[in-house]
Structure 1
């Protein structure tokens, strides 16, 4: 299993546009082998003394923190999907436009799980 994790900040007024873009990318990821996609909008993100999510993404006032992950069966599947994305595969009919967030402040990485527990459906 391979987990791609991201954190970013989105201007509050861009939430709808972000959700639309996230839905497109979630569908794209699932079509390219992802097992699960999760995006979460800030509800309770406290300010820390030394560091916190806002400091990590240099979020200015008026932006909300978004975090999420894409779970892939393995890194090879992720790499293949990433190569397809770099070629623009699956984006041919996607309406191009401005991203609803500042991509230069996005933080992301890939991880190999060292511990997992089962998930219960809560709704």
Structure 2
């Protein structure tokens, strides 16, 4: 019974906080909440992003100019609860991994242009 009360209290506190914070300014956090991402899933995502960032920097130093394979890897390893493009744009807006997210958004824009969308 105590766990239910704690859960209800936490839920109530989150509702109160959501009234004073413009959640639309935090699209990544909003995605995490809306898609019911657990703490472990959140940590897994950041572990993936850190690995991709490291690979991205290494490949840039080696002179690679096409990073599509990293985007494909991100999309393939992303939690199934999340949409890859939506997640990338949310991460970019909140300033996470800026150079990597810039590259991913460039690739997405080029793909959309190529497909005529």
What interval of TM-score do these two structures reach, taking the shorter chain for normalisation?
A: under 0.3
Bigger radius of gyration, 1 or 2? 2
TM-score by length of structure 1 reads 0.25
TM-score by length of structure 2 reads 0.26
Q: Which has the higher contact order (CA 8 A, sep 6+)?
A: 1
Compare the two structures and name the one with the higher helix fraction. Answer: 2
Compare the two structures and name the one with the higher strand fraction. Answer: 1
